[in-house]
Amino acid sequence: MDLKKLASTLIPDDNLLPLEEYEKAYPERQLEKGAEVTRLAPSPTGFIHLGNLYSALADERIAHTTGGIFYLRIEDTDLKRKVDGAVESVIRSLDYFGVNFDEGAEIDSPLNKYGPYYQRQRASIYRAYAKDLIERGLAYPCFCTEDELNAVREEQTNNKEITGYYGKYAKCRNLSEEQIYANLKAGKPFVIRLKSQGDTSNKITFRDAIKGDITVTENDQDVVILKSDGIPTYHFAHAIDDHFMHTTLVIRGEEWLSSLPIHLELFKVLGFQLPKYGHTCSLMKVDNGVKRKLSKRKDPELSLDYYRSAGYYPKAVVKYLMTILNSNFEEWERKNPQADYRDFKFSIGKMGKSGALFDIDKLNDISKAELSTLSAEQTYDFLNGWVREFGTDKDRQHFADGQYIIKILNLICGIGGKKRRKDIVRAESGVRMIDYFFDDTFTPDYCYRFDKATVNSVIDGFAAVYDEADDNSAWFAKVKRIAAQNGFAAEMSDYKTAPENYKGSVADVAEILRIAVTGMPNSPDLCTVMGILGKDRTLARLSAGKR
């Protein structure tokens, strides 16, 4: 068969360059020895998830600790899944977590010399290489219809055979020249398939940078390399792009491990040097005692947007991911509590080989601890950033008074006090936690444990003597006095010795006042809360709190 003629009939493009020209257009990168070139290669579906951040963080750390490059390539070969603004959203989401690209799609960088970084814009290079494979008898046109392929799949499934296009099932592999041209003449659509040279009785041992040695079976599937619209499949584009963009290390999800034999063969027939691969394990969670993969449908916490909209402190999410990425990170952190996580020596060899357990409670603990290292002003800035993007109009009005919020934050975070509190988990809950300091979001639950007459008498008694200028001890002396006047023990010790002599203790009196003023039985130091609210508001609340 005249393969040259076949190649130019199937791929008639006359703008394709000789292959050496492509090699020249993408010269070796001039990097130090040991520098790793990594990439994130998402499809522009608009859904960016924790797994992407997990991989991206590993990619970014490895590239940047070895003096290499981390770039963004957009795998947009499947137009059906394309969502407008998805690329910007990937960049913005990762940037929120401090993960930045050196080059790539929509990245403003002088390093952008290996593009285009959108696969759809690289059509000619894929076509040139597919054409070359056809000329070399290593690829061929396949005219099988969807129905024919489904029928084959069904037959294979019934026979309990491996499904796919291979061996005797590869119907178009051995079409004669006449049959091919007759099909073309009849206008039948076709795809280009690899003519696999592999044999499944051969095993290949391959070293995965994360999982270690893995033995796989040689590929014998005649996979599609160019679809009928001339656009490459993932497999083909991966081999070509990672070759020309000089990726040295491909970090990707373990779901790609099963296609690895295809990639090994493609690199071989294309004559490209194989990059290193690291297949990351899936993120798992324990759900009702059962360990399972995080799912897009069931787990909102899989989406990266969730962390932004719930107001997680980005550094906490990154630190948490570092603890699951590298088993020795936590110990390093304990020894270097002040250090930036970027100073940690990230090692791909220490990445988990199987199912990384994602534990939101642990993330929450890290988040609380991280937030408790901030000053009131820094906490305000963080919460305010969230409020501006995700808060309500009321939140925005409240946060306009920075001084007032900072006073509240000093109190609720215990800043300057004996013990720094770790109550704020994330911005959303932090903002809700201070709602009661504003009348328009004050929603009291008057859950008093005493009768109406007692409640009202305690409140009236205290309101009559409240003085904003009182310090904590003067304030408390007044609460004690009100306690005694209303049949409560002013001293806890008295109450403990003879509880039957009292309605309750001074603590119960303070609780009545607390419920009236804050709407809750628990709050930070009540004297300070009253001071922040100011005399007028305190008195108004006391009065409204009467039953």
Residues near ligand GLU (CB under 6 A): 41-43, 75, 238, 250, 252
Closer residue to ligand GLU (CB): 16 or 37: 37
Q: Indicate the residue among 234 and 346 with the shorter CB distance to ligand GLU.
A: 234
Judged by beta carbon, residue 219 or residue 454, the one nearer ligand GLU is: 219
Which amino acid is located at 416 in the chain?
G
Residue 199: CB minimum distance to ligand GLU, A: 26
The residue among 51, 143, 63, 158 whose CA lies nearest residue 103 is 63
Report how far residue 10's alpha carbon sits from residue 131's, in angstroms, rounded to the nearest whole number: 8
What is d(CA 346, CA 114) in angstroms, rounded to the nearest whole number?
26
The encoded tokens of residue 234 equal 């993932």
Helix %, strand %, coil % of the chain (to 5): 50, 10, 35
Residue 545: CA count within 13 A, CB half-sphere: 33
What's the min distance (Å) between Cβ of 54 and ligand GLU? 12
Considering only CA atoms, which of 183, 251, 272, 259 is closest in space to residue 216?
259
Least separation in angstroms between CB 114 and ligand GLU: 16
CB of 309 to ligand GLU, least distance (A): 23
Residue in 295, 357, 293, 301 with CA at minimum distance from that of residue 325: 357
Inter-residue contact 25 to 251 (CB < 8 Å): no
Question: What's the rounded Cα separation, in Å, for the pair 409 and 417?
Answer: 12
42 versus 261: smaller Cβ distance to ligand GLU: 42
CB of 106 to ligand GLU, least distance (A): 16
Pairing relation of β-strands 283-287 and 356-357? parallel
Token pair for 408: 């509240």
State the Cα angle at 418 between 413 and 424, rounded to 5°.
Answer: 15
Least Å distance, CB 251 to ligand GLU, is: 7
Nearer to ligand GLU, 114 or 140 (CB): 114
Q: How far is the CB of 326 from ligand GLU (least distance, A)?
A: 20
Taking the complex as a whole, how short is the minimal distance between the CB of residue 308 and ligand GLU, in angstroms?
21
Write the CB contacts of 155 (distance below 8 Å, at least 6 apart in sequence): none
**Closer to ligand GLU at the Cβ: 265 or 395?**
265
DSSP assignment of 504-539: -BHHHHHHHHHHHHHSSS--S-HHHHHHHH-HHHHH
Q: Rounded to the nearest whole angstrom, what is the least distance from the CB of residue 435 to ligand GLU in the complex?
A: 41
Cβ-based nearer residue to ligand GLU, 195 or 252:
252
Instruction: Give 207-242 as a DSSP string.
Output: EETTTEEEEEEPP-B--EEE-TTSPBPHHHHHHHHH
Nearer to ligand GLU, 254 or 377 (CB): 254
Specify the residue, 250 or 269, whose C-beta has the smaller distance to ligand GLU: 250
